[in-house]
Structure 1
Amino acid sequence: MRVRIGAAVAAALLAVTTAVAPAAGAAAGQSSRPSPGEPGAGDPYFPLAGNGGYDAVHYDLDLRYQPPTPAPAPLTGELDGVATITIVPTRHLTRFDLDLRGLEVESVAVRGRPAEFTREGDELIITPKTILPRGKAVDVVVTYGGATGRPTDIEGALYGWVTTRDGAMVASEPEGSMTWFPVNDHPTDKATYDVAVTVPEGLVAVGNGDLVGATTQDGRTTWSWSSREPMASYLVTASVGNYELRQTTTPDGLPLIDAIDRDLPPSATAGLAQTAEMIAFFEGRFGPYPFSSYGAIVDDDSVGYALETQTRPIYSRRATESTVAHELAHQWMGNSVSPARWQDIWLNEGWATYAEWLWAEHDGGPTAAARFDEVMAIPADNSFWQVVVADPGPLGLFAGAVYDRGAATLYALRSQIGADAFDRLSMEWPSRHADSTATTEDFQALAEKVSGQDLAEFFDVWVRTAGKPML
């Protein structure tokens, strides 16, 4: 939920899909002639994010982190890592890239043999000793490390491995994972993850998925986490802090693991109290919860927003009830079904905001109709209506209209196709594209199939053009 606190933006096993890099990827993938992979996945907003020529299917990250020394020393940590990445070439591969920003690379091995590597900007370019055969999995081992700071995205917002005084807040949307590990950093290349983080004894490192174990030796504790379901790289976290781990289960037996900063008052986490009820509520609308566990990370430091990191969203200083509902809904809409292009982010944020409306109505707050009316009461000459929701531009990914007009679009769609058809759509969308990615065109096609209506004009008016829709 990249709505920045106090910011102007807030005020207002998987192949790269044909929607991303269609020509180059398809042509190269069909050729038997050995060739290098592309330096990007071809996303129009972030052309060099991700890479071509292979699928990354698993990451095993072994990290060692030393947080900053006490103030007034600089807010800089030290991160050392060994990343073992299992890739499957989609062509006979002579060379390939990983995304990595800032950190130094000590060595690279491919298939157990040293490989040549160079750096160009945020690209780690790797040339193995021999050609990698198409379709045969190989392990790539990168040993790397360096100083951590407080990186920012193209809008100047903190993201990636954000160093804090007692650890780090790790929130990487849209392409900030490359600030802390070598990665194919685009949602179209989902993978499973094992992450082990060794930190000074007394600190806790929190990752995605299931807690495998924690072992302490020589004054340092290694926290090991495993994510069994495929995950987009921007949803990976390994946050470190002065956390208390609180482990419970829902009535249906789903593990809930919350990491709460010990310095926060009880009021900071009051919004988590209804998590189990929210899960059951959204399961009734979107289908079974898609992952093996859930929880939250609430830190007393701040990146200025909350983020739906898979299975374990991160919250800056406070987890409010509405934000908790929003991040939970993302587990279906955004995490299990992720955007095939960053311009499709309204399918994440519109759905999560609409889910907020549904939960508030269920819990005795304003109705979804009232929230829709609030959006439609915004004057037609307001800049809010000038954002093209299905193509907001790289600097408009987190514009208010992406969230609120996106939610209003879904409310209007329900009116257009009827409640029964919309309820079927709400279930079938996350089921059909589970653990994968999709586009606005995919969503329109499914809505048309479920409803039996031609919805081209509806989608053109609501998400593909600027201007206030006429009701």
Structure 2
Amino acid sequence: MDHPRRRIAAMFVATSILVVGCTSSPPDNQAPQPQPGQPAAAPSADGAGDPYYPRDGNGGYDVAGYNVSISYDPATGILDGDTTVTAKATAELTEFNLDLIGFDIAGVDVDGKPAKFAREGEHELVITPAAPVAKAASFATRVRYKGKPELKDDGQLGTNGWQKSKSGGAFVAGEPHSATFWFPANDHPRDKAAFRLTARVPSGWSVVSNGREEPSSTDNGWTTFRWVEETRLATYLTTVGIDKWTFERSALADGTPVVTAYAPGVENKKQLESRLPEILEFLGSKFGPYPQKAAGGIYLNEDIGFSLETQGRPIYAKWTNLETVVHENAHQWFGDSVSVDTWADICLNECFASYSQWLWAEAKDKQNLDQRYRSAIDKVRTREQYWANKLYGMGKGKEFHGVYDKGILAIHALRRQVGEDAFNRVLKEWTATHKDGNASWAQFEEFVQKTANQDLRGFFDAWFHGDKIPADQYLYPGPLRG
């Protein structure tokens, strides 16, 4: 992608022109099931079955939780990790894989017994337990590792992975990959799990992550910070930030803890973040109750190309503005609570988070969205490449090409096609139906048609599956015809 992904969304709301560029949560101890048309991964497969990223994730087990323990010295850049992955086997496992990029492996144990291990490809850690893991058995895999974490340039979004900050600290952000740059994981959104971080850093540095903050402790010149995310999350939504943070702590009206961290040099973002309760209240009025158990933000003093909806506590680039904060917090519903089944479903995340910015502008700035829509269409009507960006079935490497601009127009057209009552029901009932789970675009189409009691196959084909400007009947539905 030639331009920063989140910056597009912010610019799109700030101006009146376009910048071009079902299963619900599975029951406890039950592995996520592939959606219709998606093959199940074989027991020892080195991939979860996503056609865009076939070696992401793994088969044969369902992760219940990650217990990640790291020590990191900013002076040396060395990370010393000790992670335990608890999981349930979905088949007998004579071997299985975890995803981990880089590091020297000191040892692997399965249920307390040393296991054989080997590295394959860019990120596969192949583990052979001392005895096969029985089908339906719960088991714990401990991996001890050490080294300098890596980063990788992604052609769409810029740099992903473990990055150094201006202060000498570090942070992790990236999509679709970030977790496996610092801990072993089943790295696909389909396998969501709880997350616990224990992070030890030299005193004077501090650590922020996902979830609820637990008390820290200091010993022999090092301070240990603890964070616990009890709500299952996709691995790319985990984060860690090591810096000389300024923390602000408060609570939402319902008691949800709010922790926000500001890197040195961006304390001026406090005024922006002070609107978070207002933002979450507004989004809750549209999407239903706030689905996370923690809130806040992580404000970097870095001009990276994107901000990211890390669960319960988005991580923000230096250029972040109000629209970006609205966007990333809308993801707490669309993307974090309801996660994609495969990366082809990304419009379920980005189209709705982007449209939340229009909803905000409509409510807070009294913008006429129909007028804004027509003006935008006039500006892009003849831009073939703009319409060539499919919103579903876009192909690997093109997931983020149309969702921030064309996606907004598509959702507004859908709103006008189904009517206000049905659209509002979709926003709340979809997120409630699939809370803390995964869902596919095919399920969404079926859900909307049932809710609206309309045959929308032509509409969805034109806007979401098509690569040409929609016919006028779909481009100007309902009151947009006037």
Same fold (TM over 0.5): yes
The secondary structure found in structure 1 opposite 2:404 is helix
The secondary structure found in structure 1 opposite 2:469 is coil
Contact 1:375 1:404 in 2 (8 A): no
- For residues 261-340 of structure 1, what are the structure 2 equivalents within 5 Å? 261-266=263-268, 268-340=269-341
Match of 2:246? 244
Match of 1:51? 58
Amino acid at match of 1:421: A
Flag the 1:154–1:138 CA change in 2: closer, same or farther, 3 A. farther
The secondary structure found in structure 1 opposite 2:444 is helix
Amino acid at match of 1:453: Q
The secondary structure found in structure 2 opposite 1:354 is helix
For 1:6 and 1:458, the matched residues in 2 are separated by: 25
Flag the 1:2–1:307 CA change in 2: closer, same or farther, 3 A. farther
The secondary structure found in structure 1 opposite 2:396 is coil
Larger relative contact order (CA 8 Å, sep ≥ 6): 2
Structure 1 residue 426 displacement after superposition:
0.6
For 2:375 and 2:170, the matched residues in 1 are separated by: 38
Match of 2:13? none
Flag the 1:87–1:371 CA change in 2: closer, same or farther, 3 A. farther
Amino acid at match of 1:39: D
The secondary structure found in structure 1 opposite 2:313 is coil
TM-score under structure 1 length normalisation: 0.91
Structure 1 residue 125 displacement after superposition:
0.1
Spell out, residue by residue over 1:367-415, the C-alpha distance to the aligned partner (whole angstroms, 9 max, x if none).
433442343221333411111111222222222x212222222211111
Contact 1:4 1:10 in 2 (8 A): no
- Structure 2: give runs of 5+ residues left out of the alignment: 10-17, 22-27, 476-482
For 1:24 and 1:202, the matched residues in 2 are separated by: 48
For 2:336 and 2:440, the matched residues in 1 are separated by: 14
Higher mean C-alpha deviation, range 276-285 or range 10-19: 10-19
Match of 1:467? 468
* Aligned residue among 220, 223, 238 for 2:222: 220
Contact 1:236 1:309 in 2 (8 A): yes
Residue 458 of structure 2 is aligned to residue 457 of structure 1: yes
Contact 1:269 1:298 in 2 (8 A): no
- Structure 1: give runs of 5+ residues left out of the alignment: 29-35, 70-76
* Matched positions, count: 453
Residue 31 of structure 2 is aligned to residue 15 of structure 1: yes
Amino acid at match of 2:39: A
Contact 2:33 2:40 in 1 (8 A): no
Match of 2:417? 416
Flag the 1:21–1:15 CA change in 2: closer, same or farther, 3 A. farther
| Cα RMSD after superposing both structures | 2.2
Spell out, residue by residue over 1:235-281, the C-alpha distance to the aligned partner (whole angstroms, 9 max, x if none).
00011112111001123322211001132251x44332211011111
Structure 1 residue 417 displacement after superposition:
1.1
The secondary structure found in structure 1 opposite 2:148 is strand
Structure 1 residue 155 displacement after superposition:
4.0
Match of 1:3? 5
Flag the 1:10–1:201 CA change in 2: closer, same or farther, 3 A. farther
For 1:88 and 1:204, the matched residues in 2 are separated by: 34
Flag the 1:302–1:381 CA change in 2: closer, same or farther, 3 A. closer
For 1:10 and 1:257, the matched residues in 2 are separated by: 33
- For residues 42-441 of structure 1, what are the structure 2 equivalents within 5 Å? 42-68=49-75, 77-121=77-121, 122-155=123-156, 157-165=158-166, 166-266=168-268, 268-364=269-365, 366-377=367-378, 378-399=380-401, 401-441=402-442
Structure 1 residue 21 displacement after superposition:
8.5
Flag the 1:283–1:360 CA change in 2: closer, same or farther, 3 A. same
The secondary structure found in structure 2 opposite 1:328 is helix
For 1:23 and 1:227, the matched residues in 2 are separated by: 30
Contact 2:304 2:318 in 1 (8 A): no
Structure 1 residue 98 displacement after superposition:
0.4
Match of 1:73? none
For 1:290 and 1:449, the matched residues in 2 are separated by: 24
TM-score under structure 2 length normalisation: 0.89
The secondary structure found in structure 2 opposite 1:56 is strand
Contact 2:111 2:139 in 1 (8 A): yes
Contact 1:61 1:194 in 2 (8 A): yes
For 2:328 and 2:273, the matched residues in 1 are separated by: 11
Q: How many percent identity over aligned positions?
A: 37
Flag the 1:370–1:235 CA change in 2: closer, same or farther, 3 A. farther
Contact 1:177 1:236 in 2 (8 A): yes
Flag the 1:4–1:274 CA change in 2: closer, same or farther, 3 A. closer
Flag the 1:190–1:350 CA change in 2: closer, same or farther, 3 A. same
For 1:351 and 1:403, the matched residues in 2 are separated by: 9
Amino acid at match of 1:108: V
The secondary structure found in structure 1 opposite 2:286 is helix
The secondary structure found in structure 2 opposite 1:159 is strand
For 1:185 and 1:303, the matched residues in 2 are separated by: 23
Flag the 1:302–1:103 CA change in 2: closer, same or farther, 3 A. farther
Structure 1 residue 93 displacement after superposition:
1.2
Amino acid at match of 1:161: W
